[in-house]
Amino acid sequence: MDYKRILTVQDISCVGQCSLTVALPILSAAGHETAILPSAVLSTHTGGFKNFTFCDLTDELPKISTHWQSEGIKFDAIYTGYLGSITQIRYVKDMFGKLGKEGFITIVDPAMADGGKLYTGFDTAFVNEMKTLAFTADIILPNITEACLLTDTPYQEKYDDKYIDDIIERLIKAGAKTVILTGVSYNDDTTGVVIFENGIKRYYEHRKISKNSHGTGDVYASAFAGSYLGGKSVYDSAAIAADYTVKCIENTVDDTSHWYGVKFEPLLPYYIERLQA
């Protein structure tokens, strides 16, 4: 497996098993040197906790980038997760042009919506700015809601294969290169991911678990990035990430006290085993 230096840009929710507290251990377990650029620090994530603290680090992003440039620090890949503002998106786009080694890879999880709705604090202007980041990336990992927003497609809870094909076609026409569309479900028992690469669409189906869990999108995106940057194919990486995420949910679903995330850490050996296969 190649030893890569990866930069991941997203917030730190100190408790809650999401964003950087997920990305850092998973990417490290995949065998990569993992650098972090926190966009904000929160005491917990915002999904169900009350009175959480929030420290915006937007102003630090260009300062850190400038320091890295002065030190000649560059990265094999940049993987972005939740970004909290238009300004942060613009700073990240600037980093794409200044911090990458020759031939570096960019992976964007346009984390901004789910279930047909934008996350709190985001609006149309944010979506339009996210388009400019997503459509310059080598790989994007939107869920269906995010893909609809990126393509101005009306969101539907029920859909068929033609609807998904139309979304992917619109993403590609807008500039997307490789698309991993998550949460694609055609029935009540299964869900999966659609992988579109080099003009070919494939679908990886797996068991659907009814419980919604915080942070699973971050687990998936991080597991995908770790696998792909280690030399696995796009399709195999998408499948490994899906299987790992499902196992993490299964490992947590019966523990009602653990509502704020998934117990992904005990299953890191399984993830590593899959990477080594």
> What is the 3-class SS of 159-226, one letter each residue?
CCHHHHHHHHHHHHHHCCCEEEEECCCCCCCEEEEEEEECCEEEEEEEECCCCCCCCHHHHHHHHHHH
Cα 105 from Cα 16, distance rounded (Å): 28
Location of structure tokens 């942070």: 215
Cα 108 from Cα 225, distance rounded (Å): 10
What integer pLDDT is reported at residue 209 of this predicted model?
Answer: 85
CA 142, 143, 145, 151 torsion-angle sign: positive
What integer pLDDT is reported at residue 81 of this predicted model?
Answer: 96
DSSP state of 154: P
- 8 Å CB contact between 26 and 8: no
Cα 45 from Cα 18, distance rounded (Å): 8
Cβ-based burial of 102 (10 A; exposed 0-12, middle 13-18, buried ≥19): exposed
Task: Identify the structural domains of the chain with CATH numbers, from first to last.
Answer: 5-265 (3.40.1190.20)
What integer pLDDT is reported at residue 185 of this predicted model?
Answer: 95
Q: Which two tokens stand for residue 8?
A: 């991941």
Tens digit of each residue's pLDDT, the chain (277 residues): 578 999 999 999 999 999 999 999 999 999 999 999 999 999 999 989 999 999 999 999 999 999 999 999 999 999 999 999 999 999 999 999 999 999 999 999 999 999 999 998 899 999 999 999 999 999 999 999 999 999 999 999 999 999 999 999 999 999 999 999 999 999 988 999 999 999 999 999 998 887 778 999 999 999 999 999 999 999 999 999 999 999 999 999 999 999 999 999 999 999 999 999 9
Strands 75-80 and 117-118: unpaired
